[in-house]
Structure 1
Amino acid sequence: MNLLLVEAAKRLGSDKEIMDSYWAYHEREQNWFFSPNSNLEGRTSKPHDLPNSDSWKKKTSKERKQIWSRLSLKQRMTISTLAGFGYEGRGINLDSSTHFSKLREALVSRRRSDLYSVFWSDASNGKRWLCNVFVGDAIYLYNRKNFTSGNNHYYDPSQIYMGKSSLRKRNNYKDVQKGDIVVFGSSHVEIITDIENNWIADNGFCSIGAGRGGNRYDMGDVRCDSHKWYIGGSRELKDSNNTYYSIL
């Protein structure tokens, strides 16, 4: 029973900044998401600072552009997104005190130093699914280990299902415990937070995760078996579509 992983997953699910970034990335409103993991491919850290407003006013237009350009492209994209200009930063006027105030406020108040903005590209035009990112981030918060494949991306559900990760497969659903990992089919993954022992209906479980579709508030919440024994449900322990794993 891995209650520390459950605790880490719930803490992650209640982190508004991270969950908001998951959702915006899922919806393609921005091209990055926040993660506590400094080892992921495509991550960038928070820049040190921007000048205060009084100092900025004394700069020439050329100096302002030079200061802004010293930040990496990924850092600029993150700050411009948080400031409300979008990740492409269209319309930013560095000579506008109002625009600069928004950029600096985003950096100081909304860009946490304990998080990294992660830029992962993909060739599709559809939604981006982050169920594996939630599980990977939760594992990282739990033991500071990287649940990643060779490209420093988190293992996706199909890789876990095919046995490519370090997780150990449970041979019997009766052995499943809190803190285990469940793969639904081979395309979705979550962390089990509780086991439900029902009197009449089949035993089920509760799990937490992301990448479920729906709306923003489906990110990081706990879902349980429906208790509708006559219908069945994906969170019934004996559902043959589910595969269970424990962390070594």
Structure 2
Amino acid sequence: MTDRLAALYDVENAWGRDDEFFLGVAGSAPTRVLDLGCGTGRLTLALAAAGHTVTGVEPLRTSLDAARAKPGADRIAWIHGTSADLPAAAYDVALLTSHVAQEIRDDDEWARTLADLRRALADGGRLAFDSRDPSARRWERWTPAASRRRLALPDGTAVDAWTELTEVRDGLVRYRHHYQFPDGEALCSRGTLRFRTEAELRASLADAGFTVERVCGGWAGEPVGTGDDGELIVIARAAP
């Protein structure tokens, strides 16, 4: 990710209902929180500001550097790495937000990540993450016509952006985000997401030693398959 893409990420991913939800999962009492795949630190910084002891883990150096440069970053333990780098029994809450769970496409890698998280959580610790519900077929909205938007960077630069769906196959959805700058520079950010069903998520969590407490379909706690959010928001406990 370039510096310009990191800046665009922050503009496109402002504070929202999902952040409020996960901040609520962490609770009001200070606790030890892991933000795995913390990106540029939007929620990570808010968790620390709320009084929690926070660790942010991110494999992408550019994103982590952007997070470390923000006000309040000195309150957070930052790790450039993956779930494999987590210490044992070090956290009471683990969060994977902004659909980072869908970035873990390979089933074996997903199983290893959940095993690492179970090892990193104290007994009874909570794991929460979001994954888009494949039955909602949200990718059908990822077309240039439906997704065209204009973004304003902090320096006032206006950037035209749109999303292009490139492939849907075997539970994987591939896409490109396009960004056109007024100086003529064009950037493209490619991505591939894994859409797992609720049954697949529940089975993988059970295999890793988690007990699912609830799965919501939206940020107001709606049942799966209702509302317009099209989510699978999972809250689970690390079984003793």
TM category, shorter: under 0.3
Larger Rg belongs to: 1
Structure number with the bigger relative contact order (C-alpha 8 A, sep ≥ 6) is 1
TM-score, reference length from structure 2: 0.26
